[in-house]
Amino acid sequence: MPFEDEFSHALREAAEASPPTSVELLAIGAAQRGRRRKRRRTVVASASAMAAMACVGVLTLQLRPSADVSSPSTVGTTADPATPAATRKLPPLTPVPAPVTSGQLLELFKAELPADLRLSNAMTQDGSAGGSVQLTAAYTATDGHHTGGVEINLTRAPAHPGQRASVGPCSGGIPDCTTTAEPGGASLSLYLPAQAAGGEQNWTATLDRPDGSALTISAGNIPGPGSGRDTPYPNAPLLSAAQLTALALDPVWQPLMANPGGTSTAG
């Protein structure tokens, strides 16, 4: 007998000599184990689906452009509209300052004004039209002898390529108005008119920046809202030309000029 046949015969004899104890128990045990396996697979599949959904959610949140990207802070930045959103190069992840409100402007203005002025009748005003934003904050100020109004006005207009950002208050050869160039392409216009026939006098210092933003600090003898007075104060403005210039050139306004806009918090 060839060895292969002999070996096959021996395998059969060995296998037949060892029957299972109970095929019924074997079958029941297998079914029980199978049910457990099926349950486990269902749980794993559910958990995987939930994990996948969570991953998709996280990815979506990460890839979604921030709402601030389209805020006025990015006015002037250019993005190719033909470029698909998925392939458009995203701006670097630098913190975008929140839009400034007139209430914040009022507080900052108060801190920057000379300490010897007592301030009252605070007023704020927000305005926006045609993509331009304007914030105004004002006080009635007194130095103990004289009274007047002080005001800050911050505007930002959308930049138009090939056009000057701002014409400037002295354009047209207005008397008592001087414009000086400032670093970075900005210009400072100081307008110190004489008292008008009715007694009104209002001095302004305006800083125009090439990005379309402008800051105007003004001081005058015209009574503001809430003062209970309807005729000009009989004195000169409470801020001198030097004080107006210093205030207009103060770098504290720069971050505000970069991101004006928001709701009024007039008080």
What residues make contact with another protein under the rule CB under 8 A? 1, 3-4, 6-38, 41
Nearest to 244 by CA among 192, 193, 208: 192
Q: How far is the CB of 19 from another protein (least distance, A)?
A: 7
Q: How far is the CB of 98 from another protein (least distance, A)?
A: 55
Nearer to another protein, 44 or 98 (CB): 44
Nearer to another protein, 4 or 80 (CB): 4
Nearer to another protein, 30 or 69 (CB): 30
Helices (H) and strands (E) counted in the chain, each on its own, are 5, 7
> How many Cα atoms occupy the beta-carbon half-sphere of 115 within 13 Å?
0
Backbone angles phi, psi at 183, to 5 degrees: -60, 150
Nearer to another protein, 11 or 196 (CB): 11
C-alpha distance from residue 200 to each of 50, 110, 140, 174, 258 (Å)? 72, 24, 15, 18, 33
> How many Cα atoms occupy the beta-carbon half-sphere of 32 within 13 Å?
6
Nearer to another protein, 31 or 85 (CB): 31
Strands in 177-181's sheet, in edge-to-edge order, are 118-129, 132-142, 147-156, 213-220, 202-208, 187-191, 177-181
Q: How far is the CB of 20 from another protein (least distance, A)?
A: 4
Nearest to 190 by CA among 221, 215, 165, 163: 215
Q: How far is the CB of 41 from another protein (least distance, A)?
A: 6
Q: How far is the CB of 91 from another protein (least distance, A)?
A: 51
